[in-house]
Amino acid sequence: MAPQLLVALLALTSLCAASEPDCKELVKPLVLDSHSPIYGKWILHVGTWDEPELKSDLVAAHSSWVDLSASSDSGILSLYWADRLNGEKCLQGLANASISGMTTHTNFNINGHTSYHDGKYYETCSDCLLSEDTTLLPDGKTKGRYLFLFTRTGALDQSELETFKKQAHCLRFLPEYHFGNTDLCPDERQTGASPAENKEKETTEAEENA
């Protein structure tokens, strides 16, 4: 290869590499304060994981949404969630997340079992919510991490999806992805009863019809 051509190719490669944003630019923590644009309802578009054994739990959720709201305590975030599992069963509930610096700490109680999670939020596209979820074992050890990208509508432009994949790579997640859909669980709060109250009502009706 002619020396001039080799130099030209190296220069082009360097130019292309320089044009790609580095991880420092791609992954910027989002400050959690009263002005953070994280409140409201969000629909899961895509998620990934860093440990293979976490995959089965995520892919079981055919759709998922969360509703984040501020509380009277500036150190507490209210989180209402709803997951449609295996395309049929809906699970939903309310949890409070304590805020410590740029990290949230949430305990979810699902069917009598408590799971522990640390969350981080990162800057992302407009009308998007990028959340890293670290799942903890009861002894405090880390089971693994998820990375979720939520949007207001559940839709996402292809270019923004590519940016998410680069962010996931920067955060050392596996290059595997699970996509949610918009077949969402209905919001049980709109019935005027809590999820627990609705389940109790369903049980009572089943007993009466038995």
Give the tens place of pLDDT for each residue, 20-56. 569 999 999 987 765 567 899 999 999 999 999 999 9
pLDDT of amino acid 170: 97
How far is Cα of residue 53 from the mean position of the Cα atoms in its chain?
A: 17
pLDDT of amino acid 192: 58
How far is Cα of residue 189 from the mean position of the Cα atoms in its chain?
A: 21
The percent of residues in the chain predicted with pLDDT above 90, rounded, is 59
Average confidence (pLDDT) over 103-116: 84
Of 107, 82, 38, 76, the residue nearest 182 (C-alpha): 82
Instruction: Specify whether the CB–CB gap between 68 and 40 falls below 8 A.
Output: yes
Kindly list the distances between the CA atom of residue 60 and the CA atoms of 53, 63, 94, 199, in Å, as whole numbers in the listed order.
13, 9, 20, 21
pTM, to two decimals: 0.79
Q: Where are the domains of the chain?
A: 27-196
Average confidence (pLDDT) over 71-75: 81
The DSSP call for residue 67 is: E
Task: Say which CATH superfamily domain 27-196 falls into.
Answer: Calycin beta-barrel core domain (2.40.128.20)
Query: Which of 67-71, 107-111, 176-180: highest mean pLDDT?
Result: 176-180
Instruction: Specify whether the CB–CB gap between 104 and 78 falls below 8 A.
Output: no
Reduced to 3 states (helix: H, G, I; strand: E, B; else coil), residue 97 is strand
Alpha carbons 144 and 76: distance in angstroms, whole number: 24
pLDDT of amino acid 193: 52
* Dihedral, 163, 80, 154, 86 alpha carbons, nearest 10: 100
Q: What is the pLDDT of residues 160-197, one digit of tens each?
A: 999 999 999 999 999 999 999 999 999 998 865 555 43
Q: Determine the residue type at 91.
A: L
